[in-house]
Amino acid sequence: IPAIVPHLGDPDARVRAMAVWALKQLMAEDAWHALRSTHSTIEQDPAVMAEWWGTAASPLTISPAQGTA
C-alpha cells in the first residue's frame, strides 16, 4: 500500500485511476473511506472520480460483443 499511495498524485489520470483501483482492492474498508474522503475532494478527472466512487465500468460487465467494432 505505501508504494501505491504516491501514485494518487501522478500527472497521468490513468495512473491515478489504477492506483485508486489497487488501493480499493487492498485496503480495509474504514481505511479506504478515510483515504477517499481526503483524496477524492481534489480529483478533477471523471474516470478517476468514477474509481473513487465505485461507478467505473467493470470489464466483467462488458460482453465480448460490446468490446468489438
Condensed to tens digits (0 to 9), the pLDDT of residues 16-53 reads: 999 999 999 999 999 999 999 998 889 999 999 999 99
Look at the pTM and tell me if it is higher than 0.75.
Answer: yes
pLDDT score recorded for residue 55: 80
Cα–Cα distance for residue pair 40/2, rounded to 1 Å: 18
Q: Alpha-carbon Rg of the chain, whole angstroms?
A: 13
CB 43 within 8 A of CB 52: yes
pLDDT score recorded for residue 54: 87
Q: Sign of dihedral through CA atoms 38, 26, 67, 8?
A: positive
